[in-house]
Chain A
């Protein structure tokens, strides 16, 4: 199975800050990497697919990059509604494993 790691596990930031989260795969996954946002008590929401493609309806302050084993999610200017947990997922091969999540909270 492909193992996914994320760093940091949590980050404290202020509104307007630029936030970057990294995700690493234990083996190459091409660009088959997705990012999800999850708020407490809610289902995950797809933000980014194919490493860098913005899902319809997602604000342009979210962006993704990377390929192979190393990926990043960037929030260019953090908004109040962005405080949440972010998960990466590889869809290169089954099982479609997730990273452990990164919690973004208010500084």
Chain B
């Protein structure tokens, strides 16, 4: 069974940083691109970042470019998102998600349960 388990969220002050983790199991991790998607309280879904299977290619939404860094450790089957220079508008549940297949331009399945990041003083 494919499982994704996020951790690392919490309360952080504006300007602060966190590292989110997503532990993956049940599939050959390094053959799948992975993404982070966030959802602000009561709002819709926003794609944040993606990384290719081997980690060579990374992509970011304009809203986080230069502040967030996606990475992966394929030896540990773990995806990361370093979030820095945090703003109130970054408050959200952050989900990691696996692409449905190893083909390009695939939707996400499954998703982790999410980890909440709250940016507040």
Also in contact, A43 and B109, with CB within 8 A (given A87-B44, A98-B44, A98-B47): no
Question: Which residues from chain B contact A89 at a C-beta distance below 8 Å?
Answer: 45, 47, 107-108
Binary contact track A25-59/B, C-beta < 8 Å → 1, others 0: 00000001010100000111110010000010000
Indicate whether B11 reaches chain A with its CB closer than 8 angstroms: no
Task: Report chain A residues within 8 Å CB of B45.
Answer: 36, 44, 87, 89, 98, 101
Interface residue from A1, A91, A92, A101 paired with B44 (Cβ < 8 Å):
A101
A-B contact count (CB 8 A): 61
Residue pair B105, A100 in contact (C-beta under 8 Å)? no
CB of B112 within 8 A of CB of A32, answer no
Given contacts A43-B95, A43-B111, A49-B107, contact A95 B44 (CB under 8 A): no
A96 contact from B47, B100, B112, B114, Cβ within 8 A? B47
B residues near A34, Cβ cutoff 8 Å: 107-108
Contact, CB under 8 Å: B59 / A94: yes
CB distance from A98 to the nearest CB of B (A): 4
Asked if A7 is at the interface (CB within 8 A of a chain B CB), the reply is no
How many A residues are at the interface, by size bracket? 20 to 34
Q: Is the interface of A mostly helix, strand, loop or mixed?
A: loop
Collect the chain B residues with CB atoms within 8 Å of residue A87's CB.
44-45
Q: Is A97 in contact with chain B by the CB < 8 A criterion? A: yes
Partner-B contacts on A (CB < 8 A): 1, 32, 34, 36, 42-46, 49, 55, 87, 89, 91-101
B50 at interface, CB cutoff 8 A: yes
CB-CB under 8 A from B91, the residues of chain A are none
Contacts of A95 in B (CB 8 A): 47, 59, 61-62
Taking CB atoms, residues of chain A closer than 8 Å to B105 are 32, 91-93
- Provide 30 A-B residue pairs closer than 8 Å at the C-beta atoms, listed in order of the A residue: A32-B105, A34-B108, A36-B107, A43-B95, A43-B112, A43-B113, A44-B45, A44-B95, A44-B108, A44-B111, A45-B111, A46-B100, A46-B109, A46-B110, A49-B100, A49-B109, A55-B109, A89-B45, A89-B107, A91-B106, A94-B47, A94-B50, A94-B59, A95-B62, A96-B47, A96-B50, A98-B44, A98-B46, A99-B44, A101-B44
